[in-house]
């Protein structure tokens, strides 16, 4: 079982890189933000609860988040592991994940931090466009679609997320970066943390992440 945790501030490039790693490692990409947005879209009880926090840029409470992720990880396609994007986001979530994996004789194998200075994150989030059909991610300048407003991969319309508005971006930075530091520390203490400079292009960052995964695999061999 290969469990890879991708860490980074909002806008660091976790979702973008998780899609690249998913194809290379052949394990599913599990993004809590995507799971919550799907629940909001369905109007389920989790969605209604989560939306109250998401629209203010706050973290959804641990109990709901942990339950949702563990349910997702129990599905058959995640039997060989998963790339976790946006989870864990608090130290309590990290501990809950450790305990759940230990119960299956497994553990987080790699914790990869995509490191991007806070001042660059605002430009990334305010230029982010995602597609309606599957949440494929673009950037107005750094990664534009071939045809403006249309997803290259499935032809659906591109839109900006409600929480990528300036005031919610600010709230997310203020409310979430402290907890990210706690999670980084959790994995540093376990000797699992690897950090990659996220300021380079998407493909250069992807290569750096794959190098970290390869080096870790060599050390274990």
Which amino acids are annotated catalytic? Answer: 14, 89, 128, 161, 172
Which residue number places its CB atom closest to ligand ADP? 33
Peptide bond into 61 cis (omega under 30): no
Phi and psi at 5, nearest 5°, equal -105, 125
Which residue's CB is nearer to ligand ADP, number 3 or number 163? 163
What residue ranges bind ligand ADP (CB under 6 A)? 8, 10-16, 32-33, 36, 53-54, 57-60, 65, 86-87, 89, 93, 124, 127-128, 137-139, 142-143, 163, 172, 198, 201-202, 205
Which residue's CB is nearer to ligand ADP, number 42 or number 217? 42
Least distance to ligand ADP, CB of residue 101, Å: 16
The HSE-up count of residue 21 (CA atoms within 13 Å, CB side) is: 33
Radius of gyration of the chain (CA): 17
Which residue's CB is nearer to ligand ADP, number 124 or number 194? 124
Tokens of 122: 């605002």
Give me the residue label for tokens 């407003």. 149
**CB-based contact 159:140 (threshold 8 Å):** no
Tokens of 5: 């945790």
Query: Does residue 129 sit in helix, strand or coil?
Result: strand
Least distance to ligand ADP, CB of residue 136, Å: 10
- Per this entry, what is the length of the chain? 221
Give me the residue label for tokens 């969605």. 47
Least distance to ligand ADP, CB of residue 219, Å: 26
Least distance to ligand ADP, CB of residue 198, Å: 6
Which residue's CB is nearer to ligand ADP, number 9 or number 213? 9
């Amino acid at each position: 079982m290969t469990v890879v945790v991708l860490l980074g501030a909002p806008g660091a490039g976790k979702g973008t890189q998780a899609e690249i790693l998913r194809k290379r490692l052949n394990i599913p990409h599990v993004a809590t933000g995507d799971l919550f947005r799907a629940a909001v879209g369905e109007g389920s009880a989790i969605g209604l609860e989560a939306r109250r926090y998401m629209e203010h840029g706050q973290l959804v409470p641990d109990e709901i988040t942990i339950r949702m992720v563990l349910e997702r990880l129990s599905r058959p396609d995640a039997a060989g592991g998963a790339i976790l994007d946006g989870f864990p986001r608090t130290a309590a979530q990290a501990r809950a994940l450790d305990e759940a994996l230990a119960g299956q004789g497994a553990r987080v194998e790699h914790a990869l931090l995509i490191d991007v200075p806070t001042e660059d994150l605002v430009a990334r989030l305010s230029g982010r466009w995602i597609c309606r059909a599957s949440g494929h991610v673009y950037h107005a300048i750094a990664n534009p679609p071939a045809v403006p407003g249309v997803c290259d991969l499935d032809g659906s319309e591109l839109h900006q997320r409600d929480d990528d508005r300036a005031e919610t971006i600010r709230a997310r930075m203020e409310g979430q970066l402290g907890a990210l530091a706690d999670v980084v520390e959790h994995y540093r203490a376990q000797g699992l943390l690897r950090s990659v400079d996220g300021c380079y292009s998407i493909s250069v960052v992807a290569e750096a992440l794959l190098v970290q995964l390869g080096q870790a695999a060599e050390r274990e061999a």
